[in-house]
A and B are shown apart, each in its own frame.
Chain A
């Protein structure tokens, strides 16, 4: 027995030692940050402020393989370590980057780009071949963002996605090392606004092939040609950028170092902000937001995620326009966003969110179209009674599927109370389901009302509009209006930006004001705390979240 217990003790010790040893290998090296020669060099100069930015992200980088990415976190990293033909400026408009000149043919089908003398971080020049290889590789690897080539209208992209042609048939060709020619299937006003996005980045063939399966999985398995290089990446913990000295525009890059920490809990992020570990935190919950209201680092940011209700036309009552309109008007959206959610969200009376798209005359889409289908509870009641009379019912008992996210649940609780109080005879049953299940049920029309969300693919109102064409894959409520379909097709051809924007404004009016087909609720907002020291940090509503190129600390 004595021997046995000794053995047991030995075992415990072994577990202890191995446990600590195992765990020990995963700590980051904390001292590393301050020892960087770059930041010391800057400190010696006139400015006493360290050009170091510390921020947080809510999730780990999924991958840095250009062909595989599909999320905002990864896009953001690529946007800052790489550069394509164009990049976004502070107004989210495409500006020349690796391309120093852009020529368009008469018919707007052939685009020729002249590349500037830029270098990869390993010393190789950035060539037209890198673009040709990179774009084709995205399609070869069946990348999730392959559809962007179709959206951009690049020749043969649609057929490649259908499997009818090979990726090598894509309409891109390196004329010589510095000249790139891109052919389009159709004249496309969306071509340039898409170019700064991740799938259109160049890829260095030599490097990619050498990295093989590991490409984009570790900090030393990516090759930079942008303002920053990735200096470190501890999975699920943090990653670190350093200034890329070999970047063609390095003279205009001021930050020496950016540390990004993964923090998943907003209250934890706020605590880290208070201790000075972070310079910027996002996603403050209602109660935290209230606690910081009025402080100078408090900001509200309207994100482009929209929340709305899909009404399944298989439910007879939802074929009645008055009933649909009444549902929209019966909800006090202001109280929902300002009191119940209180997280920076703002009410939405349309499909396209505010602070997202500017017209060619630099006016906000939302301001131009105004608040559609806004009414009072009294109007809602009248429409409701009228609608009920038309369909010969005395009330409506229906259900709504809701994804199991916190703000969705809150929203649905509020909607239930609003609709049942303001529309006599309305009974709403809430069904909480996992997110994936909500999508599945929407696609299969196994719902009556769905509390849905939509985020943009690119920065143009069309990303919220063309989903409603007849038979569109994201339509999911059998919405069909020939006039709408025809206008979408027209907008996709219209090269005059002003005329096109007019069509885009009309489209929203048709679906919301005229047909009252969808019930928009609000656009998701975020309350952030941002240190006063940060200047020139650019936040984009779609694609990459941030551009750090022009950011500096004061």
Chain B
């Protein structure tokens, strides 16, 4: 097992290296400069700025220098927020994104699981039809619409919760709720479908035949065996939600990471683009690893694969 994970770590670093390399060179192909006011810069100014930041060097040299700094733990400084460390920017912004993302995942998973399980157990009932319709609406109406409605009705008209900004815990509730809609829809749809399949399997029949209580059958056998697609989907979803969602953060003025990334690409803030890319990829790779491990926990038959690879 240990060897397996050491190997995985090596592979992970290689993957990250490839991502960094490809991103670096693609990013440099983007039109424009990383300096503000590209409309106004004269050729003369551009040349002296490039010289100052070493952007007049050939690309491979720039790349080697970037990698060298990265290995020493230097992620560079932002161009857009002149002089601010990329690491500072990421770690300041990731907090709010993680909080609302995590809350959305928790709310979404609980409600989604509840809705999905109940509707699978009462397949074709009115409740089922309602739950499916709700889930479909949740996925076909974009989350910014829910966000805007929540903000206006709960935040302004009812005044129950702050409609925006980021000052104390109460400010995180509305964005989390708005974000959870998609999670609810996804979880409910997946668990329902998968449970319907599992319910027809032989081992469920035999569990029932053994006289295990209905609750026990559903909980221990059906739900557990239905979690694979949910986990497969939730893992990467958690990464993308918790590393920031452009629209929700913008609507609620949450100082998260989501908008920063898009903005950095638009203004060619090279060091920030690289920083966030690496940060995001690392998380994604870790979560994929985690999901693979959870497969083993959920279904011991999959675990044999690990033995195979050692």
CB closest residue in chain B, given A145: B37
Contact A268 B32 (CB under 8 A): no
From A62-70, A78-86, A127-135, A307-315, give the one contacting chain B.
Answer: A62-70
CA gap between A17 and B168 in the complex, in Å? 17
Q: Which residues does B use to contact A, with CB under 8 Å?
A: 30-33, 35-45, 48-49, 52, 80-84, 89, 92-96, 98-99, 102, 148, 151-152, 155-156, 159, 162-169, 171-172, 242, 250-253, 255, 259-260, 266-268, 294, 296-297, 300
CA gap between A163 and B44 in the complex, in Å? 9
Q: Can you list 8 A-B contacts (CB < 8 A)?
A: A19-B242, A26-B92, A30-B167, A63-B82, A144-B49, A237-B165, A268-B164, A437-B31
| Given A63-B81, A440-B31, A268-B253 contact (CB < 8 Å) | yes
* CB 8 Å contact bits of A450-476 with B (1 = contact, 0 = none): 000111010000000000000001100
Collect the chain B residues with CB atoms within 8 Å of residue A235's CB. 89, 92, 255
Q: Does A397 contact B (CB under 8 A)?
A: no
Collect the chain A residues with CB atoms within 8 Å of residue B268's CB. 436
Contact B164 A272 (CB under 8 A): yes
Contact B38 A268 (CB under 8 A): no
* CB contact list, A223-265 vs B, under 8 A: 234-238, 261-265
Q: Does A217 contact B (CB under 8 A)?
A: yes
CB closest residue in chain B, given A1: B300
* CB 8 Å contact bits of A434-449 with B (1 = contact, 0 = none): 1111011000000000
Collect the chain B residues with CB atoms within 8 Å of residue A440's CB. 31-32
Q: Which of B41, B95, B162, B250 contacts A23 (CB 8 A)?
A: B95
Collect the chain B residues with CB atoms within 8 Å of residue A168's CB. none
Q: Count how many pairs of residues, one from A and one from B, have CB atoms less than 8 Å apart in the complex.
A: 169
CA gap between A272 and B162 in the complex, in Å? 8
Contact B82 A62 (CB under 8 A): yes
Contact B166 A28 (CB under 8 A): yes
Collect the chain B residues with CB atoms within 8 Å of residue A267's CB. 148, 151, 251
CA gap between A147 and B294 in the complex, in Å? 59
| Given A23-B99, A436-B38, A60-B164 contact (CB < 8 Å) | no
CA gap between A60 and B300 in the complex, in Å? 50
Q: Which residues does A use to contact B, with CB under 8 Å?
A: 1, 4-5, 8, 15-16, 19-20, 22-30, 60, 62-63, 65, 68-71, 142, 144, 146-147, 161-163, 213-217, 234-238, 261-265, 267-268, 271-272, 274-275, 277, 434-437, 439-440, 453-455, 457, 473-474
Contact A271 B164 (CB under 8 A): yes
Q: Which of B36, B48, B83 contacts A70 (CB 8 A)?
A: B36
Q: A27-B171, A29-B167, A237-B165 are in contact. List 16 more A-B contacts (CB 8 A).
A: A5-B297, A16-B102, A23-B98, A23-B102, A25-B95, A63-B82, A144-B49, A161-B45, A235-B89, A264-B253, A265-B251, A265-B253, A267-B148, A272-B165, A275-B155, A436-B33
Contact B99 A20 (CB under 8 A): yes
CB closest residue in chain A, given B242: A19
Contact A68 B165 (CB under 8 A): no
Most chain B CB inside 10 Å of its own CB: which residue of A15, A236, A473: A236
Contact B166 A27 (CB under 8 A): yes
Collect the chain B residues with CB atoms within 8 Å of residue A217's CB. 83-84
Q: Which of A26, A63, A261, A434 contacts B83 (CB 8 A)?
A: A63
| Given A27-B167, A271-B163, A436-B37 contact (CB < 8 Å) | no
| Given A62-B81, A144-B45, A236-B255, A19-B152 contact (CB < 8 Å) | no
Q: Which of A147, A215, A238, A436 contacts B45 (CB 8 A)?
A: A147
Most chain A CB inside 10 Å of its own CB: which residue of B49, B98, B171, B172: B98
CA gap between A216 and B242 in the complex, in Å? 30
Contact B99 A19 (CB under 8 A): yes
CA gap between A71 and B267 in the complex, in Å? 13
Contact B96 A162 (CB under 8 A): no
Contact B99 A439 (CB under 8 A): no
Most chain A CB inside 10 Å of its own CB: which residue of B96, B159, B296: B96
| Given A22-B94, A63-B81, A271-B165 contact (CB < 8 Å) | no
Collect the chain B residues with CB atoms within 8 Å of residue A473's CB. 42-43
CB closest residue in chain B, given A62: B81
Collect the chain B residues with CB atoms within 8 Å of residue A457's CB. 40
Contact A27 B168 (CB under 8 A): yes
CA gap between A147 and B171 in the complex, in Å? 43
Q: Which of A62, A142, A271 contacts B49 (CB 8 A)?
A: A142
